[in-house]
């Protein structure tokens, strides 16, 4: 991987090559689990695929999880699919066969069962600042005047009330997905560490999920703000 990194430093737009043929799949639906994915590699090569995007496979919350995008633990794989070691082994085999690996990294939010959210729910001030929390509806109502509902039929509104802490929490997607507060530098640092941990599985690229929503600005629809682009460039 180090040699590959050096080569790509000389050609930083390698991923735009017309020689790359992409494929996107859910591991459980395509192969069953990460170990069985290795058995599918000959088929992928027969199809000419050399840029493989595996849909969310980090450990999600139990029950409804937005197709895996409600991550409970960034350092654990969905137990139905295997282990982190299985992911590393699959990455090595894919590279041996000339296939690049793309993984999802959910930047905008965590599941409410994530350790940070659980600490916030227990009243820990540091972790309450990891999320957008409000003591009443005054500010949420002001934001809502300009916000777009992502799932109006299933999850109306962009804020959810939690009586355990007597606070409203920003939940752009579903109530079980808590938006992270990137105005807090600690959040950026913590998420950067999670990102590097995922990259070290051997991923060639990360698909950064829900990044238009990273920055909240009153009086706007809070999508594609300039600050969100600054965060991505950082």
Active site residue ranges: 209
- Residue-by-residue DSSP string for 58-90: EEEPSS--GGGTSEEEEEEE-TTT--HHHHHHH
Length of the chain: 234
C-alpha span between 112 and 110 (Å, rounded): 6
What 3-state DSSP class applies to 154? coil
Number of H helices, E strands in the chain: 10, 11
C-alpha span between 101 and 201 (Å, rounded): 10
What are the C-alpha distances in Å from 203 to residues 5, 54, 89, 101, 135? 11, 10, 11, 5, 41
C-alpha span between 71 and 176 (Å, rounded): 10
């Amino acid at each position: 991987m180090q040699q590959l990194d050096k080569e790509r430093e000389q050609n930083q737009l390698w991923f735009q090559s017309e020689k790359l043929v992409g494929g996107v799949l859910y591991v459980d639906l395509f192969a069953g689990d990460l170990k069985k994915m290795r058995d599918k590699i000959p088929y992928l090569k027969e199809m000419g695929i050399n840029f493989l995007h595996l849909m969310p496979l980090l450990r999600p919350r139990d029950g409804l999880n937005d197709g895996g995008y409600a991550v409970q633990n960034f350092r654990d794989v969905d137990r139905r699919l295997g282990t982190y070691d299985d992911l590393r082994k699959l990455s090595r085999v894919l590279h041996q066969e000339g296939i690049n690996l793309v993984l999802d990294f959910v930047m905008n939010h965590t599941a409410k069962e994530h350790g940070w959210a659980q600490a916030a729910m227990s009243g820990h001030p540091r972790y309450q600042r990891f999320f957008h929390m409000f003591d009443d509806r005054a500010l949420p109502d002001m934001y809502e005047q300009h916000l777009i509902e992502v799932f109006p039929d299933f999850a109306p509104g962009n804020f959810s009330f939690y009586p355990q802490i007597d606070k409203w929490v920003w939940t752009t997607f579903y109530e079980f997905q808590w938006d992270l507060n990137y105005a807090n530098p600690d959040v950026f640092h913590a998420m950067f560490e999670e990102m590097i941990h995922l990259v070290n599985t051997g991923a060639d690229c990360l698909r950064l999920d829900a990044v238009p929503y990273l920055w909240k600005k009153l009086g706007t629809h809070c999508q594609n703000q300039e600050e969100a682009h600054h965060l991505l460039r950082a």
